[in-house]
């Protein structure tokens, strides 16, 4: 694995030393999780709106 040199990481008041490759991997995974969470929240919002519209159209 490349990028084995240690780097200092400061995040939300936490400090530590980790290899650069591992820091990049953790950042990529965390970014993917954030994007998936935002996408899931948007899908839930759209489904809720669609349900409300369906109920409104069924009442008339």
Tell me how crowded residue 11 is: count the other CB atoms within 10 A of its CB. Answer: 11
Q: How confident is the model at residue 60 (pLDDT cuts 50, 70, 90)?
A: low
* Cα-trace Rg, the chain: 21
- Tokens standing for 38? 């935002």
58 class by beta-carbon count within 10 Å (0-12 exposed, 13-18 middle, 19+ buried):
exposed
- pTM for the predicted model, two decimal places: 0.70
**Is the pLDDT score of 42 beyond 90?**
yes
Residue 1 — pLDDT band, cuts 50, 70, 90? low
pLDDT at 40: 97
- Mean pLDDT (the chain, rounded): 90
pLDDT tens-digit series, residues 3-25? 789 999 888 888 999 999 899 99
The CA distance from 7 to 17, in Å, is 6
């Amino acid at each position: 694995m490349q990028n084995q040199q240690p780097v200092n990481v400061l995040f939300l008041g936490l400090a530590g030393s980790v290899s650069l490759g591992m820091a990049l991997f953790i950042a990529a995974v965390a970014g993917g999780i954030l994007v998936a969470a935002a996408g899931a929240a948007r899908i839930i919002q759209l489904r809720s709106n669609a349900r409300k519209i369906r109920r409104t159209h069924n009442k008339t």
